[in-house]
Structure 1
Amino acid sequence: MNERSAKHAQFVIERIYGAKPDRVFAAWANAAWKAQWFQKAEEFDFRVGGREFSRGGPPGGPIYTFDANYQEIVEGRRIVYSYSLDQGSTRISVSVVTVELQAVESGTRLVYTEQGVFLDGHDKPEQREHGTNLMLDKLGEILLSKESIHKRVIDAPRDVVFSAWTTPELLARWWGPTGFTNTFQEFDLRPGGHWKFIMHGPNGVDYPNECVFVEINSPERIVLNHIATVHQFYITADFEDVDGKTSVTFAQRFETVEELASIEKMIKKANEENLDRLSEVVSSLAGRT
């Protein structure tokens, strides 16, 4: 057993990211986006007094529990939160973190300051600083990405989930964000085939769409090219069997980082709603409620 101790420490990490402060801020404030570079949250309430809670760890290794509360949020400029970290049932540290964002010529200067107490030798400030550096490196990679990536595990067999993407009657039931309906005009399911449809928004506005199927590999992958004069992108959907369930990875890749950045806040929410609707349709097919 480790000797009882409480070591207090502070470390400061600085990064320059080639993205504007509002985009860097959104990578902390949006649950789906943050899950691309941080442990996916089971609870995410980004407001002063709100909580972020997650559990995870390396395969076969210990489970770490991250439990944070937001103390101050200044849009686009500063985030302050306190958090505890447990290894299994053992509390290993308690910290206060300040994330500061400043616009610079090349993008954003981020200053991450953590002040913590590390308990009973279970973790060391040097190890925490190293892990945080890796985390902020990952954030930098995400900020430079042209892709918006979403993952979801659906409690249904892979062939059932795949059929919800390839059967027009089923696809029309869930495609698009909450409140949208669809009218399909053409659905030619083959490489080079066209998918033409109109998305009817809850505001009464119609949105014509056209895609070309690039790859269809049943039941593992579908690749689409969304053809448009604005916001042209590729969609790749990968389906992986996970003990009878299906892990869906939905990737939306744009031509430039700037184009993704211009609509990223909107599509993060929309794509998560899209996967919510897919899950509902698949659950009905699989006889689940």
Structure 2
Amino acid sequence: MTLNLNSDSTTPTAPDDRSDRFATLTFERDVAAPLSVLWQAWTVPAARAVWSAPTPSVTVEFLEADTRVGGREVSLCKVKGQPDIRCENGWLELQTAARSVNYEVVSSRGVTQSAALVTADFSGEDERSRLVVTVQLSSLAGEMEAGYRRGFGAGLDNLAAVAERTMVLQRVIRAPRTMVWSAWMNPETLPQWWGPDGFSCRTKRIDLQTGGEWVFDMIAPDGTVFPNHHLYYEVRPEERIGYTLHSGENGPKHADAWALFEDQDGATKVTLGMVFSTAAEFQEAKGFGALELGLQTLGKLERFVVSR
């Protein structure tokens, strides 16, 4: 999470003894998205990168991201003409779709400005969910409360909007994670199963590594051609993939996407998520059955892996 970099509270000052250096802040949001989707938007690095900047003038650069208990996330918040703000989050507790707890340390020019304990509680049913975030803040470099209120408030507004245009597909595949990963990240095998039932892939270029790409056409059963371009910006072996989806080679981006791979009693839980660039694109995708077609794709992956 980022605080408001346009506030004066980011200017380092000497610590003082004022009691107002300590504050407990509470933020609540009702979100028009299933609880499982909101959890993914809150925890998955690819989604956090979409909503974390509080305003368009702020650029957030993620230096590392490891969403597991004991892992941490380090980012730089940048505004033209201002010193970079470094934010380190460390994950202390992760109860899927229920609660997360993390510490947050904010610094600038090597000087710590604040430390906070952030607790997020999740609840929901059907297509609606609720998030309550409690921030226990200690301002070490001047008054930070106002900046936190603006930054967290804007960030959570962004999160709600992102969750409402996010699609999440999951399937437990009856095969070890190594086999599932190999089928996905092998340039020979990925085109063999990718796509809904009856679709085939025609590859132009494929390079499945960080900084790589896959340029291909998806061909429908009736012969309709759908140009695709995947750009991979993160590949963590047997853990996750982060990439963007484009309509044809160098075409407009229509989604930020990720794939997660988790061991589950000898099987593999695969999660495929997509944050569509606009709410209209999300609604259009839902309208033509993208959720069902995506689940068909994961079904083809399972059949491919099990048959080998």
Q: Is the 8 A contact 1:25 1:76 kept in 2?
A: yes
Give 4+ residue runs of structure 1 displaced > 4 Å after superposition.
223-229, 257-264
Q: Which amino acid aligns with 1:181?
A: E
Whole-angstrom distance in 2 between the partners of 1:32 and 1:79: 17
Residue 76 (structure 1) shift: 1.0
Aligned length: 200
| Residue 27 (str. 1) matches residue 41 (str. 2) | yes
Residue 250 (structure 1) shift: 3.8
| Residue 118 (str. 1) matches residue 125 (str. 2) | no
Where does 1:219-238 land on structure 2 (aligned, <5 Å)?
228=220, 235-236=246-247
Residue 129 (structure 1) shift: 1.1
Residue matched to 1:251: 254
Residue 62 of structure 2: which of 41, 50, 53 is its match?
Answer: 41
TM-score normalised per structure 1 = 0.57
> Secondary structure at the residue paired with 2:83?
coil
Q: Is the 8 A contact 1:200 1:207 kept in 2?
A: no
> Secondary structure at the residue paired with 1:82?
strand
Residue matched to 1:208: 200
> Secondary structure at the residue paired with 2:138?
strand
Residue 83 (structure 1) shift: 1.2
Whole-angstrom distance in 2 between the partners of 1:138 and 1:92: 24
Residues 249/54 of structure 1: CA separation in 2 closer, same or farther (3 Å cut) = farther
Residue 145 (structure 1) shift: 2.4
Q: Which amino acid aligns with 2:144?
A: K
Whole-angstrom distance in 2 between the partners of 1:207 and 1:49: 42
Q: Is the 8 A contact 2:199 2:219 kept in 1?
A: no
| Residue 98 (str. 1) matches residue 105 (str. 2) | no
Residue matched to 1:5: 16
Whole-angstrom distance in 1 between the partners of 2:91 and 2:118: 10
TM-score normalised per structure 2 = 0.54
Residue 57 of structure 1: which of 70, 78, 102 is its match?
Answer: 78
Residue 233 (structure 1) shift: 9.8
Residue 31 (structure 1) shift: 1.4
Residues 228/11 of structure 1: CA separation in 2 closer, same or farther (3 Å cut) = farther
Q: Which amino acid aligns with 2:247?
A: T
Q: Is the 8 A contact 1:19 1:108 kept in 2?
A: yes
What stretches of structure 2 of length at least 5 have no aligned partner?
Answer: 1-11, 53-59, 169-182, 204-214, 229-245, 256-280, 299-308
- Identity in percent: 21
Residue 164 of structure 2: which of 124, 144, 149 is its match?
Answer: 144
Residue matched to 1:85: 106
Residues 63/208 of structure 1: CA separation in 2 closer, same or farther (3 Å cut) = same
Whole-angstrom distance in 2 between the partners of 1:61 and 1:237: 37
Whole-angstrom distance in 2 between the partners of 1:238 and 1:93: 44
Whole-angstrom distance in 2 between the partners of 1:116 and 1:257: 40
Residue 18 (structure 1) shift: 0.7
Whole-angstrom distance in 2 between the partners of 1:250 and 1:80: 33
What stretches of structure 1 of length at least 5 have no aligned partner?
Answer: 149-175, 183-197, 212-222, 240-247, 268-289
